[in-house]
Amino acid sequence: MKFAATEGMQAHNTGTFGFSAVQLSKLGATEYTLVTLVIDRSGSTAGFQQRMENCVKEVLKACQRSPRKDNLMLRYVTFEDTHTEVHGFKLLSECNPGDYDGSLPPDGMTALYDATVDGIEATANFGHDLLQNDYSVNGLVVVITDGMNNKGKSNMRQVKAAFAQAVKGENLESLQSILIGVVDKQDGSYQSTSDYLKQTKTEAGFLQYVELDDAKDTTIAKLAAFISKSVSSQSQALGTGGPSQAVTW
């Protein structure tokens, strides 16, 4: 992983890869939902990477309009041959949509499982730190990919183990997880990729799988709305003792 603590943030060297997060002294609320976006930028995403960047920005803008905006933190990870923490867990008020321009240059292969393990572990470990300091906290991990894992050291079993440890360790009140496949039905590999990602959802332990039939503007706009609603739903569930109800695609 290409990891260097985001400027002005605290480095955490826990988990397999490490992460960075806002310093607790800067927090003003008593409860938080940790949102982690893990997005594929492998070479096969060429042609729709700009739409995906727009999706991230639209998710951010929607969350900043939410009544729960002061109770949300966002971490952004991208992946190809390796994965990169673009920024660690930041307060929503410190996230600027313009900072996401150029964040998804397509290149390389697909280290899907490494990036997913990173997203789960960082969410759980920072959740643990917050709980230890008397904050209420839950989490949402959203992973978006257009293909199969073909790079990295982690496997499907390790993803499942990371999910299990996040729950077993009681690091979060609840952890919601969504795997999103951008799978074009016009592509010759559509069926094999679709089957693979559905299998990944089940065997790796994701709670929800959503499949996009294409990466057109209207579809990506619908995706941004779906993610934003999922963030809002999970944040509103904080304090109930369980995860939110899955938002319908």
* 218 exposure class (CB count in 10 Å sphere: 0-12, 13-18, 19+): exposed
What integer pLDDT is reported at residue 6 of this predicted model? 67
What integer pLDDT is reported at residue 168 of this predicted model? 87
Query: Per-residue DSSP letters for 145-181?
Result: ESS---SSS--HHHHHHHHHHHHHTT-SS-EEEEEEE
Query: Per-residue DSSP letters for 101-126?
Result: TT-----S---HHHHHHHHHHHHHHH
Among the listed residues 77, 163, 60, the one whose alpha carbon sits nearest the alpha carbon of residue 115? 77
Residue pair 106/41 in contact (Cβ under 8 Å)? The answer is yes
What integer pLDDT is reported at residue 241 of this predicted model? 86
Architecture of domain 31-237: 3-Layer(aba) Sandwich (3.40)
What integer pLDDT is reported at residue 187 of this predicted model? 87
- 241 — alpha (psi -120 to 50), left (phi > 0) or beta? left
Residues in the chain with pLDDT values less than 50: none
What integer pLDDT is reported at residue 242 of this predicted model? 86
What integer pLDDT is reported at residue 2 of this predicted model? 52
What integer pLDDT is reported at residue 5 of this predicted model? 61
